[in-house]
Structure 1
Amino acid sequence: MTRTELFGYSLNAEYQTSVAYFSMEFAIDQSLKIYSGGLGFLSGSHLRSAFELKQNLLGIGMLWKYGYYDQVRDKNNNMVPAFIQKDYSFLEDTGIILSVPVHSATVKVKAFLLRPATFGTAPLFLLSTDLPENDEVSRSITHRLYDPNEATRIAQSIILGIGGGMLLDQLNLQPDYYHMNEGHAVPLNFYLYSKYKNLDEIKKRMRFTTHTPELAGNEEHDYSLLKEMSFFYHIQEHEVKFVLGLEGEKFNYTLAALKFSGKANAVSKLHGDVAREMWGGYDGICEIVSITNAQNQKYWQDAILAGKLRASDPLGVAARKKEMKSLLFKEVANQTGKLFDENVLTLVWARRFAAYKRADLLMHDWNRFENLLKHSKYSIQIIWAGKPYPEDTGANQIFNQIIDNTKAFPNCAVLVGYELGLSSLLKKGADVWLNNPKMYREASGTSGMTAAMNGAINLSIPDGWIPEFAIDGENCFLIAPADGSLSEEQSDKTENANLMDVLEKTVLPTYYDHPSKWFDVVQNGIKGVIPEFESARMAEAYYKQMYQQAD
């Protein structure tokens, strides 16, 4: 397959450098359920902008038979995960079958292709082990995104990294750069090392994006298990440690990726500071720059609203916003039996569901929360949505507690099925987009970008991308963070009080009493987001800062 056949369009002369972009998940379209959350939303927007700019970039990912999971309800209305087979007639079977060593056996891997014309993205190859040639254990490698079984998770990285490298060789596509979006594809480096036998040769070609701002969140496993799993391809454990200057019994994916890469990037300016502090004490790591995440305007922004905003038509914006709220509220009624009002300020908390993101922070002072919901002058409606990791007991418990705690309130709703389609409905229907993670735990947090594109005002802790965007009271509303010396309990209490103060004293009065001021904040939010946080800027930055022409 030639590059011309693969892309189907003329490449822009500015972006001739060829790149293979490896990611465990891609959020391309609601119908293609191969993603879990923000990492996939980011890679999906990257491929959309690469297509729009006609960049010489292709994606390598995985074809998950059961996706991440389907988020449904049990008979008690609590959220439960369901695993349902997915079939996609729009993927092209390339006929290519690779033989990848996993656990000293040979696993057959088939490559499927998502053509650029299908959804308006750069070409994307997806790898599957769910083939009749494989035994059931081998077939299950590509069944579940982020499988909870340790050996299966390791095998998934082997298929993505080594299988992806083999695929490019089979296609006779030798990219100038290999780009790992997070550390999952790190076995790719061992495949390349078997070819080049030289770390510097890999560094010339390897680029890496790190997303996780916590040491505990960066995947690592015992060397002995990885060796047994064929993770290091044909390289021995002692050679891995020698080449990379590693010690200890645990192999850390992120640390290895930073040592294999010629350059890496964090996903916001603040995250860059955190990442350099995290990893700066290790010898042999590459430079870590900051390229802030972004999202694709064409995919995410409502076209009618955009036209009203360009025309500075506040009445038209308000009317369209009510129409978008109405569409969201049909889904609220469908799932919960609650009827929301388009004239009432609607606050949304929706994103990947993890404890540190504090979906329940609003409820920390229950009496104050209850008074907010029953306020006689300033009405409010609140919606929660998000997908916790299926095996994250704590996050699942928080999700279902919110369902139980808000069941009696007609102006609160918790929605399931948080995927691209529902995410779009929520961002278009929200008046306020709430983001209140624990400080320095959010690498980027891009959901607020696409909410702002659709006329929702960010109400946020100044973490992730927000410090690069926020002008408090002009394009968003900020929640003052607690002093860093406070305990976690004291911090939650303080930040709950700060959040409620901003809501009660600023956000609600502005919405109801000063609509022209509200419109100004909405407009300023969009001006602040586009183009700085639109993914064309990000895709261009990768070419300028990360992909200089290889030697």
Structure 2
Amino acid sequence: MKAIRRFTVRPVLPDPLGDLAELARNLRWSWHPRTRALFRSVDPHLWEASGCDPVRLLGGVPPARLAELSRDEDFLRRLGEAAGDLREYVTGERWYQQRAGGSGHLPRAVAYFSPEFGITAALPQYSGGLGILAGDHLKAASDLGVPLIGVGLLYRHGYFRQSLSRDAWQQEHYPVLDPNELPLTLLREADGTPALVALALPGGRSLRAHVWQAQVGRVPLLLLDSDVEENDRGERDVTDRLYGGGSEHRLLQEMLLGIGGVRAVRTYCRLTGHPEPEVFHTNEGHAGFLGLERIHELTGPAVGFDTALEAVRAGTVFTTHTPVPAGIDRFDRELVARHFGPDAELPRVDVGDILRLGMETYPGGEPNLFNMAVMGLRLGSRANGVSILHGAVSREMFAGLWPGFDPEEIPITSVTNGVHAPTWVAPEVLALGARQIGERRTEDALSVGGSDRWDAVADIPDTDIWELRRTLRGQLVDEVRRRLYDSWRQRGAATAELGWIDDVLDPDVLTIGFARRVPSYKRLTLMLRDRDRLMELLLHPERPLQIVVAGKAHPADDGGKRLIQELVRFTDDPRVRHRVVFLPDYGMAMAQKLYPGCDVWLNNPLRPLEACGTSGMKAALNGALNLSVLDGWWDEWFEPDFGWAIPTADGAATDDDRRDDLEAAALYDLLERRVAPRFYERGPGGLPDRWIEMVRRTLTRLGPKVLAGRMVREYVEELYAPAARAHRALDVTAAGELAAWKARVRAAWPRVTVDHVEASATGATAELGATLALRVRVHLGELTPDDVEVQAIAGRVDPEDRITGATPVPLKPVGGPDQEGRRVYEGPLALDRTGSFGYTVRILPAHRLLADGAELGLVTVPSEATGEAAGVLLR
């Protein structure tokens, strides 16, 4: 019979074991080896059966075992040490507190919004890299002491679980998640009732949500849950699945995340006394509506929309993660309009003002679509991509918002992603580091960084490194066989036909890993372009390869599912199935076994469509070598000393099939001629000396760079701190001043002109070291010199006379306006480089409160033909 109601009965722990509940509820256990070891010792079998989840573990431990542990002095001692260590961790002074030093230049708190968070497999609220990055961001912020508040949604079905049919077609399953069985606590009002966040919907309806809290070390993570009794059926399902439903469903999810998320933060701070955030960080455009809610908070009789917009922009950071327009959420303008205004949400904000923030009103845009990334850029004073190359791609992709500026001047910077090493580094690697430099220094090296600590890898004996790699490879072999057996049973195979699985993979064979989401640009099946050649590599009599592949296609992506089916059918071939496998249901639990066990991590996307790609970073921290297209993070950090770059066939004349053929052939050549020989080559001592040296260099050179701690420090210093300073400077009065100034400048800008430019050299010829004296005559209309900056832009020129490596040189006004209102600006221009050289001049708006000279999207340049002014309105 089926139960008519389900609920969770929590265990009652004996008093001596009370600290176990505190340890289980703080997700630091997911990356803290000693706490995990403590929970494992409670019941090793039940620990594995619970999926290494302390909450489930404690819910299943028999009372007799708990009573036994409450009398075990050694266990109680370790429990006390773990609890004391956690309390010191969450209250002690860390990097951020030392960096702040009482100066007040760092934000009191930062709110970090993301549609998904990958903290641990025990809290399945992620689909792929975006969520894993968000989880690593929170963990690293906790390690560094950054006062962050995470904000997301609680999906009652999470993301789907994946299996395969007999004919290798992806199957999706959506398990029901009970928040009471997860490491979560319901946020409650002072009277004990659940805190509620509410949004107004068209037609007088409401969308309400509870707020669940996960504690990620020092960082609270607030997750909004619409499955509450106060909602009608349709509203209860808003947070049913991650990235599920149609356009209106997604819009409601993103309104709840952004608008409801801000309200949840306000409620949390009110109830707990946590400092209110000064900086709001939008991790991709899904949470962009948070800016509208903050504008609505400020808008009233004395504060108009433009003033509120300036105040909100100052403290907002926007991170874009997609290098392709198709990856951005876009909604029909009428759908958006229907959900805002007097009859729905944000009644004090005019719907037209809301729409203008997200509409694609630029060349090449779709005028009837509301673009969440465009809104993110217009609402954020600071924006970034997630690798140097992705920053450049983003500047090109969004250049339509700033058509008068060269791509390198578009105000989108970059902070290259990192990974949380304590989460992704295998315990065996940690143990080796602890033996070398001590447990505490190893933990600091992985969480905080510091090349001096990583340099100690140079002193680890070759035999220890190689034995570690073989151990990890052997553990992966065992894991693969177990998962492959379970997969075949799900596909309908009988036990009697699965004996071959006992011989799948070999702990002494070069092992390659490839695991990620399965959109077409990641090219899951590139390795299959020449199947005969791949078989030769897999079955080579002296230098064989073995490959482990995993990945999920989006439920609506039949093209991705066909790629998986094609690959699985190849792996089913009895000739190679012991050398190449596909493992379904890729997630954090699998990844934590897969990354350490691989010798080589393969990545072959279409360049430059991989924004960053952090899986190779996680593999590298475990001593794997990267074999990748120069895309994402590998483009900026690749060195031949510790990996290989797959050549690309970028050219306009190369069609997609031809490109794939060329790049697959390059991949086969690298594997056959360089990778495999290096792995199997033995030195005088019987070890692959040159391979081990590449592993050593991977750890010492890449290790400190790929850390999430490095990433979060860069966010703090380059984005959060400037945003906090701008937030403090732009109170309502200053924001009103800035808004009025912008309005005045925009109105006057069409009459700003560059009328004449002349230059005279100090020498007879233009030689290196000479100086040009520039003299520019401009007309500022109703503006004054205080409203603008006149610049000379100089540098080398290409054959089309485009300036490259441009250097702006401010020019100074000389005297007042003449009778026609024109002004003269002058300045020297040094000829500091040889070769083709050129210059131009331009006028930009200038104000002390602007985050960037391009912020308004206004620039005036000379006419190419006559020297007469050409005013360019960028937005």
- Report the TM-score, using the length of structure 1 for normalisation: 0.94
Q: Secondary structure at the match of 1:148?
A: coil
Q: Secondary structure at the match of 1:547?
A: helix
Residue 261 of structure 1: aligned partner: 380
Residue 319 of structure 1: aligned partner: 467
Q: Secondary structure at the match of 2:121?
A: coil
CA distance in 1, matches of 2:560, 2:461: 42
| Per-residue CA distance 1:159-181 (angstroms, 9 max, x = gap) | 10010011122233531001000
The worse-fitting range, judged by mean Cα deviation, of 37-46 and 328-337 is 328-337
Tell me if structure 2 keeps the 8 A contact 1:49–1:121: no
CA distance in 2, matches of 1:546, 1:348: 35
Q: Which of 133, 142, 152 lines up with 2:230 in the alignment?
A: 133
What is the correspondence of 1:136-155 to structure 2 with a 5 Å cutoff?
Answer: 136-155=233-252
What is the correspondence of 1:65-214 to structure 2 with a 5 Å cutoff?
Answer: 65-76=156-167, 78-87=169-178, 88-94=181-187, 95-104=194-203, 105-116=205-216, 120=217, 122-171=219-268, 172=270, 174-196=276-298, 197=305, 198-214=308-324
| Per-residue CA distance 1:13-72 (angstroms, 9 max, x = gap) | 235511000000111011110000100111111111111111111100111111111112
Tell me if structure 2 keeps the 8 A contact 1:349–1:434: yes
CA distance in 2, matches of 1:505, 1:292: 32
Residue 147 of structure 2: aligned partner: 56
CA distance in 2, matches of 1:161, 1:213: 23
Tell me if structure 1 keeps the 8 A contact 2:357–2:375: no
| Per-residue CA distance 1:221-266 (angstroms, 9 max, x = gap) | 1110112234973334322245678632111110110011010110
CA distance in 2, matches of 1:504, 1:121: 48
* Runs of 4+ with >6 A deviation: none
Tell me if structure 2 keeps the 8 A contact 1:346–1:382: yes
Compute the displacement of 1:123 (Å): 1.3
The worse-fitting range, judged by mean Cα deviation, of 205-214 and 333-342 is 333-342
Identity %: 31
Tell me if structure 1 keeps the 8 A contact 2:357–2:374: no
Tell me if structure 2 keeps the 8 A contact 1:25–1:39: yes
Give the letter for the 1:137 counterpart: G
CA distance in 1, matches of 2:130, 2:318: 14
Give the letter for the 2:267 counterpart: Q
The worse-fitting range, judged by mean Cα deviation, of 235-244 and 441-450 is 235-244
CA distance in 2, matches of 1:327, 1:438: 32
CA distance in 1, matches of 2:165, 2:667: 33
Compute the displacement of 1:391 (Å): 1.1
- Cα 1:391–1:30 change in 2 (3 A) is same
The worse-fitting range, judged by mean Cα deviation, of 31-40 and 166-175 is 166-175
Q: Secondary structure at the match of 1:36?
A: coil
Q: Secondary structure at the match of 1:287?
A: coil
Q: Secondary structure at the match of 1:115?
A: strand
Residue 542 of structure 1: aligned partner: 715
Residue 363 of structure 1: aligned partner: 528
Tell me if structure 2 keeps the 8 A contact 1:361–1:496: yes
Give the letter for the 1:224 counterpart: E
How many residue pairs were aligned? 542
| Per-residue CA distance 1:419-456 (angstroms, 9 max, x = gap) | 11101111011011000000110000010001000111
CA distance in 2, matches of 1:251, 1:274: 21
Compute the displacement of 1:326 (Å): 2.1
Q: Secondary structure at the match of 2:195?
A: strand
CA distance in 2, matches of 1:240, 1:111: 27
1:407 aligns with 2:572: yes
CA distance in 2, matches of 1:438, 1:232: 41
The worse-fitting range, judged by mean Cα deviation, of 120-129 and 57-66 is 120-129
Tell me if structure 1 keeps the 8 A contact 2:162–2:552: yes
CA distance in 2, matches of 1:226, 1:383: 44
What is the correspondence of 1:505-524 to structure 2 with a 5 Å cutoff?
Answer: 505-514=673-682, 515-524=688-697
What is the correspondence of 1:177-326 to structure 2 with a 5 Å cutoff?
Answer: 177-196=279-298, 197=305, 198-230=308-340, 233-234=346-347, 235-242=349-356, 247=361, 248-283=367-402, 287-306=411-430, 308=432, 310=457, 311-326=459-474
Q: Secondary structure at the match of 1:467?
A: helix
Compute the displacement of 1:483 (Å): 3.0
Compute the displacement of 1:366 (Å): 1.7
CA distance in 2, matches of 1:32, 1:304: 25
Residue 350 of structure 1: aligned partner: 515
Q: Secondary structure at the match of 1:125?
A: strand
CA distance in 1, matches of 2:567, 2:522: 14
| Per-residue CA distance 1:363-407 (angstroms, 9 max, x = gap) | 111221122222122111111101211111110111122111221
In structure 2, list runs of 5 or more residues that go unmatched.
1-86, 101-105, 188-193, 299-304, 362-366, 404-408, 434-456, 486-500, 683-687, 729-875
CA distance in 1, matches of 2:220, 2:461: 39
Radius of gyration: which is bigger? Answer: 2
Tell me if structure 2 keeps the 8 A contact 1:261–1:286: no
Q: Secondary structure at the match of 1:123?
A: strand
- Cα 1:77–1:488 change in 2 (3 A) is closer
Q: Which of 22, 42, 53 lines up with 2:113 in the alignment?
A: 22
| Per-residue CA distance 1:154-201 (angstroms, 9 max, x = gap) | 111011001001112223353100100000001111111212332111
**RMSD of Structure 2 on Structure 1 (CA):** 2.0
Tell me if structure 1 keeps the 8 A contact 2:515–2:551: yes
Compute the displacement of 1:112 (Å): 0.5
| Per-residue CA distance 1:283-341 (angstroms, 9 max, x = gap) | 49982111000001111112432554634222222222222222222222123243211
Give the letter for the 1:537 counterpart: R
Give the letter for the 2:417 counterpart: N
Compute the displacement of 1:98 (Å): 1.1
Residue 449 of structure 1: aligned partner: 617
Q: Secondary structure at the match of 2:549?
A: strand
CA distance in 2, matches of 1:529, 1:306: 17
Tell me if structure 2 keeps the 8 A contact 1:205–1:261: yes
1:481 aligns with 2:648: yes
Tell me if structure 1 keeps the 8 A contact 2:419–2:618: yes
CA distance in 1, matches of 2:237, 2:603: 36
Tell me if structure 2 keeps the 8 A contact 1:148–1:391: no
Give the letter for the 2:183 counterpart: F
- Cα 1:321–1:293 change in 2 (3 A) is same
The worse-fitting range, judged by mean Cα deviation, of 461-470 and 311-320 is 311-320
